[in-house]
């Protein structure tokens, strides 16, 4: 069994680098590179959508919504930033909207408070001050801000992978550990260190 050294880039990084190359080429008008990029994203997005509780024929519908948003936002990706965090933020945004829509559609099939003229309570917006001090909440937000993206890109590869798997892709610890090829304990240690480093980096950015 071949063990990775601590300094070795995780196995997922070459694939991300290839996706980034395809996107850069697509931004320059390379249609073949763009087709390769989208083809490589489909199985990742299907697994991600299923992991968020979507099943059946609805999976492909949500995946297509994500692909459309990626297409519309492709000009916003910058080649000096990692591709995957940008892509997963869009995927989370689209899947969250889709899950809310599906929940509304399903609720219409049952007798709910709205049938009796009672408005359902709205979700309280996240507190901006507390979110700014909590990297997990920032990474779970619908949009990945440039400051968070830059701080995430500066993490050591193993820590960034752990943070992305747990907080951007929202995998379970066991699923994230299997994807990273490490034990659950090691994965949690990496994520904890990455989260702590993010908090420190973001706090430093807030100082005058």
Is the pTM of the predicted complex or chain greater than 0.95? no
Asked whether the beta carbons of 168 and 155 are under 8 A apart, the reply is: no
Exposure string over 23-53, b if 16+ CB within 10 A, otherwise e = bbbbeeebeebbebbeeebeebbbbbbeebe
Stretch 97-103: mean pLDDT, rounded?
76
Stretch 5-29: mean pLDDT, rounded?
74
The CATH fold of domain 12-113 = Rna Polymerase Sigma Factor; Chain: A (1.10.1740)
Sign of CA dihedral 157, 158, 159, 163: positive
φ, ψ for residue 202 (rounded to 5)? -70, -35
With both helix axes pointing from N to C terminus, report the angle between 58-73 and 31-51 in degrees, rounded to the nearest 10. Answer: 140
pLDDT digits (tens, 9 = 90+) for 59-87: 888 898 889 889 988 888 988 888 988 89
Q: What is the band of 110 on the pLDDT scale with cuts at 50, 70, 90?
A: low
CA distances from 148 to 83, 122, 125, 166 (A): 14, 27, 19, 15
pLDDT digits (tens, 9 = 90+) for 134-169: 666 667 654 566 777 778 878 888 888 888 888 877
- For residue 205, what pLDDT is reported? 65
φ, ψ for residue 186 (rounded to 5)? -65, -40
The CATH classification number of 130-208 equals: 1.10.10.10
Determine what percent of the chain is predicted with pLDDT higher than 70.
Answer: 72
Residue with tokens 């059946």: 56
| Pairwise CA distance, residues 168 & 12, whole Å | 15
Give the domain ranges of the chain: 12-113, 130-208
């Amino acid at each position: 069994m071949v063990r990775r050294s601590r300094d070795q880039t995780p196995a997922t990084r070459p694939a991300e680098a290839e996706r980034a190359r395809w996107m850069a080429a697509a931004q320059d008008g390379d249609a073949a590179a763009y087709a390769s990029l989208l083809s490589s994203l489909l199985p990742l997005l299907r697994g991600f959508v299923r992991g968020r509780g979507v099943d059946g024929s609805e999976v492909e519908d949500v995946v297509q919504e994500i692909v459309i948003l990626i297409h519309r936002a492709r000009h916003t990706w910058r080649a000096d930033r990692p591709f995957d965090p940008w892509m997963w933020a869009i995927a989370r945004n689209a899947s969250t909207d889709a899950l809310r829509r599906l929940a509304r559609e399903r609720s219409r099939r049952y007798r709910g408070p709205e049938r009796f003229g009672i408005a359902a309570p709205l979700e309280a917006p996240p507190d901006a001050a507390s979110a700014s001090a909590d990297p997990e909440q920032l990474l779970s937000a619908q949009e990945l801000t440039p400051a968070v993206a830059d701080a995430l890109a500066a993490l050591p590869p193993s820590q960034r992978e752990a943070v992305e798997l747990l907080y951007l892709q929202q995998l379970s610890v066991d699923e994230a550990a299997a994807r990273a090829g490490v034990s659950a304990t090691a994965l949690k240690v990496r994520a904890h260190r990455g989260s702590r480093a993010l908090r420190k980096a973001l706090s430093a950015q807030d100082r005058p």
